[in-house]
Amino acid sequence: MLVTVNELRHDTHHFFSKQVGSIFFISIFITFISILIDMFIKPDMHIISIMENNKFINTNSLLELINNMNLKEKYELLKYSIFKIIELLMSKTLLLGSIITLISNLSNNKKESFIYSIYSLSAFLPSLFILNCITTFITQLGFMLLIIPGILLSILLSLSPIIFSFKQHSFMDSIRLSANIAYKNIKIIGPGVLFFLFGKFILTIILSNIHFMNKNIIFLILNISVNILYSILIIYLFRFYMIFLRS
């Protein structure tokens, strides 16, 4: 069965328009969870002042900034960075798992209770979190080398959580199959991933340059918008994989 970008775009738009309320609710709910977690992992005020004052702005590189810190400051920054990475991975995993559960239930015409959906999601999340850790580590290595390898790895690994959600493959098999399928269908998978990355970049640039609004409100709007964009990408990729399995 031939899959086209236009067909996937139409299917994605149709599903999103039908489930826009649920997707907005999930995106807002996960954003508030992120804010709540962020409140508990705030770094020491002294570290915040170092990161935000003129000394940080005039620093030529992050490495130079770290070298100018004492041992305690480096420890606090490292601790905050680790907690922040875990928080971002948890938020991404929860969003990914929630949207996949929503799509799966609707695709299979299941009318499951809210409690059962929460139970299936909670059982799926730990494994999905581990997979996210692996794929995020690999893609971030690509972005550290150059932008292009990072984007390419993002495309190649984008299907791995979708494949894994069918509970037929292990972590590494899901990653291997994702790379294989995405490479062969890069002209179809690529536009969806690039749309998300470009949209996220544009939103970040626009909202970070708004100075007349409170920073917390900007943070809230940015996170909800990015979550919605990522939800659209998940729908696009899930629909592609469903068509791919039938072909």
Poorest-pLDDT segment among 4-8, 23-27, 211-215:
211-215
pLDDT confidence tier of residue 170, bands split at 50, 70 and 90: confident
CB 157 within 8 A of CB 181: no
> What are the structure tokens assigned to 176, written together?
């291997």
Report the C-alpha gap between 45 and 42 in whole angstroms: 8
Report the C-alpha gap between 11 and 9 in whole angstroms: 6
CB 105 within 8 A of CB 117: yes
Q: Look up tokens 């893609």; give the residue.
A: 139
Poorest-pLDDT segment among 12-21, 80-89, 146-155:
80-89
Give the model's pLDDT for residue 56: 45
Q: Please name which of 177, 149, 142, 152 lies closest in space to residue 162, comparing C-alpha atoms.
A: 177
% of the chain at pLDDT higher than 70: 82
Residue range(s) defining the domain that contains residue 138:
5-246
pLDDT digit string (tens) for 61-84?
556 666 666 677 677 777 777 888
CB 181 within 8 A of CB 244: yes
| Burial of residue 110, with CB atoms counted within 10 A of its CB: 0-12 exposed, 13-18 middle, 19 or more buried | exposed
Mean per-residue pLDDT, 119-144: 85
How many structural domains comprise the chain? 1
Q: Look up tokens 């399995």; give the residue.
A: 245
Poorest-pLDDT segment among 51-55, 180-184, 233-237:
51-55
> What are the structure tokens assigned to 14, written together?
């149709």
Give the model's pLDDT for residue 59: 43
**This prediction's pTM:** 0.84
Mean per-residue pLDDT, 148-161: 91
CB 26 within 8 A of CB 95: yes
